[in-house]
């Protein structure tokens, strides 16, 4: 009886935990679906010229004595007054950031930022994307790349800056840029496709556990985690990977025809210096260096679309995101998700 009582308590705790998780997930799903179709975010615009000017003035105020600083400010005021009398229309540079995870979650903000800038940008302007991504799911990065293609289609120059990494799906985004700039030790390339999953069928058989997989359609399921995989299923799965890889290669070749695609589409990665020799990039330079140069002759505007969420939404989404990360990471390792 004591064993049954302890088991009942354990079962009650387990059921309670499962119900709590389901409630959190259901709440988060309801909150997300409630906001769909109704943008609740806000576009934040920061003038980077003012930011760079502030850095310089702060340094000047600390290094120069009072007389030197006064003379410098007087000279700067005269220059500003002269500019106002003869205003010069400078080109605009719209600066975007993309910090990619495995699901390319930053695409949600990127799409709104691009929609906003395309309402004003002209071929005389420029878009600079500071990109950091090691790649992820095929369909997610396919959508992110399609958003960048809108800029090219509108005839607005697109420059992609990579300071750390743009590999796999990240490089698929980068290749859309008319100019790709990379730091000397940034990681680039990985033009390939990978999918992996364990199979525990033999373990189940060892313990006399049957697992049935029922499908309608010859290739509805090729490789499985629990079922018994066949050679025919393996061949079909590999065929799907090869098709995806070919699409990836064709996409990169379309935007960077100067590449010897069969030499670089091996799944390998290269550091910036070697990537320049392979024509994966056009110039070695950090994003800071490039933007500081452009600030001398253009108006730089940093765009960031931020979602506005209530306290209830923030609590619900934070809880669901934590659970979702655990589930997605575990499931991705067990299923046949394809990754750039």
Ramachandran angles phi, psi of 193, nearest 5°: -135, 140
The count of C-alpha atoms lying within 13 angstroms of the C-alpha of 186, restricted to the half-sphere facing its C-beta, is 33
Residue 34 has pLDDT above 60, yes or no: no
CA 129, CA 160: separation in Å to the nearest integer? 5
Angle CA(15)–CA(19)–CA(24) in degrees, nearest 5?
150
Within 10 angstroms of residue 224's Cβ, the number of other Cβ atoms is: 19
CATH classification code of 39-190+268-307 = 3.90.226.10
Task: Kindly indicate the confidence band of residue 53, based on its pLDDT and cuts at 50, 70 and 90.
Answer: confident
Ramachandran angles phi, psi of 137, nearest 5°: -70, 140
Residue 281 has pLDDT above 90, yes or no: yes
Domain ranges of the chain: 1-38+309-340, 39-190+268-307
Catalytic (active-site) positions: 168, 220
Over the stretch 285-300, which tens digit does the pLDDT of each residue have? 999 999 999 999 999 9
Residue 186 three-state SS: coil
Task: Kindly indicate the confidence band of residue 268, based on its pLDDT and cuts at 50, 70 and 90.
Answer: very high
Strand order in the sheet with 283-284: 41-47, 299-307, 92-99, 126-132, 158-162, 179-182, 283-284
Over the stretch 180-191, which tens digit does the pLDDT of each residue have? 999 999 999 999
Over the stretch 12-31, which tens digit does the pLDDT of each residue have? 666 566 666 766 666 666 55
The count of C-alpha atoms lying within 13 angstroms of the C-alpha of 266, restricted to the half-sphere facing its C-beta, is 8
CA 338, CA 76: separation in Å to the nearest integer? 57
* Gyration radius from the chain CA atoms: 26
């Amino acid at each position: 009886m004591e064993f049954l009582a302890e088991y009942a308590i354990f079962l009650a705790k387990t059921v309670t935990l499962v119900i709590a998780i389901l409630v959190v997930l259901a709440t988060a799903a309801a909150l997300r679906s409630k906001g769909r179709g109704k943008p609740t975010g806000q576009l934040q615009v920061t003038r980077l010229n003012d930011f760079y000017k502030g850095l310089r003035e702060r340094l000047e105020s600390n290094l120069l004595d009072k007389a030197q600083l006064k003379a410098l400010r007087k000279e700067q005021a005269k220059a500003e007054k002269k500019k106002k009398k003869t205003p010069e229309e400078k080109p605009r540079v719209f600066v975007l950031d993309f910090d990619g995870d495995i699901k390319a979650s930053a695409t949600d903000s990127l799409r709104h930022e691009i929609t906003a800038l395309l309402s004003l940008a002209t071929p005389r302007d420029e878009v600079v994307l500071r990109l950091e991504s090691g790649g992820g799911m095929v369909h997610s990065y396919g959508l992110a790349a399609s958003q960048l293609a809108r800029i090219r289609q509108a005839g607005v120059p697109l420059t992609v800056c990579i300071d750390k990494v743009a590999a796999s799906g990240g490089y698929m985004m980068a290749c859309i840029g008319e100019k790709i700039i990379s730091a000397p030790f940034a990681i680039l390339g990985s033009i390939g496709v990978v999918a992996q999953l364990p199979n525990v069928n033999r373990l189940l058989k060892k313990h006399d556990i049957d697992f049935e997989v029922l499908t309608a359609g010859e290739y509805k399921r090729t490789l499985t985690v629990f079922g018994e995989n066949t050679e025919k299923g393996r061949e079909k799965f590999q065929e799907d990977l090869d098709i995806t890889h070919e699409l990836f290669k064709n996409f990169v070749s379309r935007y960077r025809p100067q590449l010897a695609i069969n030499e670089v589409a091996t799944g390998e990665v290269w550091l910036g210096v070697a990537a320049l020799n392979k024509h994966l990039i056009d110039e070695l330079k950090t994003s800071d260096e490039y933007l500081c140069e452009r600030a001398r002759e253009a108006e730089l505007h940093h765009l960031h679309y931020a979602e506005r969420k209530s306290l209830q939404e923030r609590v619900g989404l934070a809880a669901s995101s934590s659970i979702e990360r655990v589930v997605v990471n575990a499931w991705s390792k067990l299923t046949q998700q394809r990754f750039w």
